Amino acid sequence: MSKEPDLFILSEHADLLKKLKAWDIAYHQNDAPIVDDATYDAVKRRALEIEEQFPSLAKDGASTHVGASVSDKFKSHMHSVPMLSISDVFNEDEVADWFNKLTSKDIFIELKVDGVSYSARYENGKLVRGLTRGSGVQGEDITENLKTIPDIPHELVGDFPDVIEIRGEVYMNRDDFIALNAESDKQFANPRNAAAGSLRQLNPAITATRKLSAFAYTYGEISNRNFETQSEYFEKLKSWGFKTTDKWASSAHNMSEIQDVYNKIMLIRPEIPFDIDGLVLKVNDIATQERMGSRANSPRWEVAYKFPAARAITTLRDITIQVGRTGVLTPVAELEPINIGGVVVSRATLHNADEIKRLNVCIGDKVVVQRAGDVIPQIVEVAEKHTQSCDFIFPATCPVCGANVVQESGQVARRCVNTMGCPAQRIGALEHFVARKGFDIEGLGTKQLEAFIARGWISTPADIFTIIARHGDDIRKMDGFGDKSVANLNDAIERARNVDLHRVLYAIGIPEVGEVTAKILARAFGNLIAVRNAPAWKLKSIDGIGDVMADEIVSFFGDEHNARALDDLLGQINVKDADITTQNADGILAGKKIVLTGTLSKYTRDTAKDILEQLGAKVSGSVSAKTDIVLAGTDAGSKLTKAQDLGITIWGEDDLDRIIEQSKQ
């Protein structure tokens, strides 16, 4: 009997899949990756390790996932044969594990081109449809876009099958990428992004202006296969009018030969005019390929032997500190500019103070810079020391506002505590302040806040409540504003002057304090003065307030900058004390811990929360062994799965209606 995963594994696996899904959408749909290849690979490998240990998690997991769902901007079609991904291997041992299981040791080795996968369907020699990989089962229709690429013929020549789907990679040469960025307002991060963004244009005329290239390397549906090996197929592709990577292709029959090819390509990698991120190792004999078959998302007869991320050596000029929107201080390496794979890199992240110490990196050192996945450059190691020992002194005060910098117990990051007044955090803090769950000021969105901040009209939350009186005439003259819009904004601001305590506690941006915690604090203390003066020990005694959260609350209210900004705000608003008996101790759901998940059709999430709390329940954001009930709507995800595994009672909206009726009796 197979071992079942515990709560920690379930939670970790769900979190990994959530990250992979978001990153896949950013990469495949939006052509704007948000993490580097190394980070993505590490997360995916961990998910696969868990699924290998607990096969029950493999269904709908990383083991079965390919690409991302198709965008609704394009027409879509089902692939007649799924476009699978290729399993990655990262070192000789992993290659050997794959190679030693093969019955055929004749291996065909190709370059793994860092581009965008395509499938081109030909019927009677004519190109009739082009698709992206999409989800692997369904792809986006890019037929007209493919027709603009010179390397993809509109008609095949020679002896070709009646039906064949040619599959390969659209890419952009590095020189063409650099030229495109030089003449374009939009700056692409790397050649792969440029190729993806160009190929997935809704207007094929734009695609035609970009210098895209394409290789062919495999096939999907085929009516009549008249070749026996992958190497023969490459020759067929060329005879039909396609380009292949045959110039760099090799064969191997043992591990030594495979590694020799790997080392050779690594040495000439900078000379190859387009980006590659590894080699593809394939069983050459196609009959053997067919016998071996595929897993859920990848063939068994091929693997991608990944290269390390692109690297180069340059000089560290300086270390500066960047303050993010959440107040986290990040050290940044200022570098002697260097071209790495077509991208000029002059800055790289050093992550945090611990990383600087670990690297023992000093200003003036020669450092190895890695453009991991071509997204976020980072320093890997010191190549040549300029100074043997130098302790970088991390600032004790914020370089932007001068407030204290704190590092909470057990945390790596260091953070500016001046949440309400630090200019670096200002836009993020004010967006949070006016949001629906905070002061809910309609008409004061990101665009308006940025404009008012740029003009110096708003710097703290209190300024919002005086902006119309001070600058109303000037606002009316701005684009997008007039008498009516200014009047509407003024009405929204005036309505916000009278606000519930829990909304204030949420809106002022105390780290770790979300909507649920804000309500817990409001009910526990009743008024703002009591919350501001609460010692850590008292906060920790409240159900739902942990040690870290309590320390954050005390630190926030203890900071003089926050205290000053809050006092200014209180001069403009009226905070309504909380009824500490709002949660009905005698209610029909008294003492029950309930979690909401999915989309409810009859109620908004906030309305459902209020109803449950009025009936005595405690509404939590996460499922645990202490959860009594999970109220699930449509599209419920990992929370529902976790609850089912734990044997927790599951409710639908009908159950909520039933309880409401019972409470009225």
- Which residues are known catalytic residues? 112
Q: Tell me how crowded residue 217 is: count the other CB atoms within 10 A of its CB.
A: 24
CB 170 within 8 A of CB 212: yes
Q: Which residue has the tokens 């609350």?
A: 553
Pairing of strands 366-372, 116-123: unpaired
Closest to 243 in 3D by CA, of 144, 151, 358? 151
d(CA 158, CA 239): 6
Q: What is the CA radius of gyration of the chain?
A: 29
Give the type of residue at 601: S
d(CA 218, CA 237): 9
Distances (CA, A) of 568 to 327, 425, 564, 649: 21, 18, 6, 47
d(CA 415, CA 406): 5
d(CA 645, CA 11): 12
Query: What's the half-sphere exposure (Cβ side, CA atoms, 13 Å) at 208?
Result: 7
d(CA 572, CA 595): 36
**Beta strands, E only, 308-406:** 310-323, 328-340, 343-349, 366-372, 376-384, 405-406
CB 570 within 8 A of CB 604: no
**What residue spans of 334-404 are helical by DSSP H?**
353-359
As given in the structure block, the two tokens for residue 229 are 């090996």
CB 89 within 8 A of CB 305: yes
User: Which helix (H) or strand (E) covers residue 170, if one does?
Assistant: strand 163-171
CB 209 within 8 A of CB 148: no
User: Which helix (H) or strand (E) covers residue 539, if one does?
Assistant: helix 536-540
